[in-house]
């Protein structure tokens, strides 16, 4: 489980960009200490600790080494600054979209997202809406394992 509370050198002074974390390469994901934004919805959505993952543009994460696949089990999400933020989650394998899920988020409570998607090599998180589309996630439950089906037979 990724809690965003064990990021090396996290200083908590401002949102920071997350690049390589727990065997995943992240694009456009940030993290923040929620105590810095007490009027946001982030405190209501966090599941543990004081740090959460945050974004307001599409985020992707992929395994940091080749021949690995992801099982995306679950996470919690919530809106940071306005209600009715839409979050679309897409799963991919070898360039093809294999899964999609959409949910509406608000600032009042965390939304548990349970997917149990397996055999992914890329996950995409896309926020949308008509106001501030900032999203926070916490307690991302994933498994990274070897992709044994992607080998040629002789």
| Cα 132 to Cα 139: distance, rounded to the nearest angstrom | 23
Tell me the two tokens of residue 109. Answer: 């409570």
Contact 59, 26 (CB under 8 A): yes
Q: What is the mean pLDDT of the chain?
A: 91
Query: Residue 31 pLDDT more than 50?
Result: yes
Contact 55, 125 (CB under 8 A): yes
Q: Give the residue extent of every domain in the chain.
A: 16-146
Secondary structure letter of residue 7 according to DSSP: -
The confidence score (pLDDT) of residue 64 equals 94
| Cα 81 to Cα 37: distance, rounded to the nearest angstrom | 10
Using left for φ > 0, alpha for ψ between -120 and 50, and beta otherwise, residue 56 falls in alpha
Average pLDDT over residues 1-16: 76
Average pLDDT over residues 104-127: 97
The confidence score (pLDDT) of residue 149 equals 78
Secondary structure letter of residue 2 according to DSSP: B
Average pLDDT over residues 117-124: 97
Query: Residue 12 pLDDT more than 70?
Result: no
CATH code, 16-146: 2.60.120.1350
66: Cβ–Cβ under 8 A, 6 or more apart, which residues? none
Query: Residue 154 pLDDT more than 50?
Result: no
pLDDT in tens, 51-81: 999 999 999 999 999 999 999 999 999 999 9
The confidence score (pLDDT) of residue 8 equals 74
Cα 114 to the center of its chain, rounded Å: 13
The confidence score (pLDDT) of residue 153 equals 41
Q: How many CB atoms lie within 10 A of CB 114?
A: 11
14: Cβ–Cβ under 8 A, 6 or more apart, which residues? 32, 36
Average pLDDT over residues 87-95: 97
């Amino acid at each position: 489980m990724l809690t965003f509370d064990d990021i090396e050198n996290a200083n908590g002074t401002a949102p920071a960009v997350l690049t390589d974390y727990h065997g995943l390469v992240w694009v456009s994901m940030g993290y923040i200490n929620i105590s810095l934004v007490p009027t946001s919805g982030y405190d209501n959505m966090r599941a543990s600790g004081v740090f959460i993952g945050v974004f307001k543009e599409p985020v992707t994460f992929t395994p940091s080494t080749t021949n690995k696949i992801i099982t995306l089990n679950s996470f919690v999400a919530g809106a940071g600054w306005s209600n009715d933020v839409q979050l679309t989650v897409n799963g991919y394998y070898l360039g093809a979209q294999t899964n999609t899920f959409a949910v509406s988020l608000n600032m009042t409570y965390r939304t548990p997202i349970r997917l149990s998607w397996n055999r992914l090599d890329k996950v995409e998180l896309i926020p949308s809406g008509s106001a501030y589309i900032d999203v926070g996630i916490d307690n991302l439950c994933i498994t990274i394992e070897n992709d044994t089906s992607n080998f040629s037979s002789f």
